Amino acid sequence: MILFKYQALGNDYLLCDPALTPQLPSREMIQKICSHHYGLGSDGLLWGPLASARAQTALRIFNPDGSEAEKSGNGLRIFARYCVDAGYYMADEQFSIETQGGIVTAIVFSEKDEAEIAMGKAIFDSQMIPASGENREIINKTLIVDNQSFKITALSLGNPHCVIESEDLSENYIRKWGPKIEKHSLFTKGINVQFMKILEPHRIQIGIWERGTGYTLASGSSATAAAATAVRLGKAQFPITVIVPGGELYISQNKDEFLLLRGPVKKVYQGILKFS
């Protein structure tokens, strides 16, 4: 199995190119490969490029537990970087990628080790998240978890997010509350959780608990969801710098109200994996 490892502010993915490794790894194999103790260690596995009837290429994204994710902002930026490195597309030229969470466009910049993804529009409709109960918007609403009250905003970027304003962004706090909110009965398919602190009108900071992954140093879709929430709450304005434990990501909005995610991506290594 030929694997390529890339990282985006410490959010690391392994990539399998079907042209080089034709067989998609099983769920059990993905769990083993992504394990930091028994495998290579990764925040997920990317499977692509794949043929698409709707876009120029397609990508499947798998969490470390083997479940399939609809979308990943950093995973998409890593995939875009690989596509340029491998010669599928050119730097500084936009190309489209189909995911389970919809079609996005990508561009890799030649002057910097950065890639940008047009993530689409933020959707606050509860049916699209999805969240249980009647169709509504869940904006700055109270959620009770183990007698603790949280003010939450839920939204979809093609994958689900729950953003919570918090003064405590410590890893211990996120590890305590993240998994409980991820699996709360309100969110019928689970949810990614972001704890957010507003610093300035164009600058916020977040801690991240990813569905199917856990605590992570960076997440592109989480940064995008938090920025969209800060704007929706009237507490920030685009463009927004989002500070994550691994560094900084940049979120802006184009004239079509599509959210643009930009940040660094670097190749770590490539190799051939043979399990004994």
Domains of the chain (ranges, CATH numbers) = 2-119+263-272 (3.10.310.10), 126-253 (3.10.310.10)
Q: Is pLDDT of 195 > 90? A: yes
- pLDDT at 233 > cutoff 90: yes
Helix (H, G, I), strand (E, B), or coil: what is residue 64?
Answer: coil
Q: What is the pLDDT of residue 38?
A: 87
Residue 276 has pLDDT above 80, yes or no: no
Q: DSSP assignment, residue 75?
A: H
In terms of DSSP bridges, do strands 102-109 and 247-253 run parallel, antiparallel, or are they unpaired? unpaired
Report pLDDT for 123: 96
Give the C-alpha separation, 234 to 63, whole Å. 33
- As a whole number, mean pLDDT of residues 164-172 equals 98
Distance CA 187, CA 8 (A): 28
pLDDT of residue 274: 86
> pLDDT for 83-105, tens place per residue?
999 999 999 999 999 999 999 99
Give Cα 121 to chain centroid, integer Å.
15
Q: By the 8 A CB rule, do 198 and 154 touch?
A: no
- Give, in order, the Cα–Cα distances in Å from 94 to each of 80, 97, 106: 10, 10, 5
What whole-number percentage of the chain has pLDDT above 90? 95
Mean pLDDT value of segment 218-232: 97
Look up residue 35 and give its amino acid: S
Q: Tell me the mean pLDDT in the region 170-197.
A: 97
pLDDT, the chain, mean: 96
CA distance 228 to 122: 7
- Structural contact between residues 5 and 268, judged by C-beta atoms closer than 8 angstroms: yes
Q: Output the pTM of the full model.
A: 0.92
Q: Write the burial class of residue 85 (CB in 10 Å: 0-12 exposed, 13-18 middle, 19+ buried).
A: middle
pLDDT for 275 = 75
At which residue do the structure tokens 């509860």 appear? 126
What's the pLDDT at 111? 87
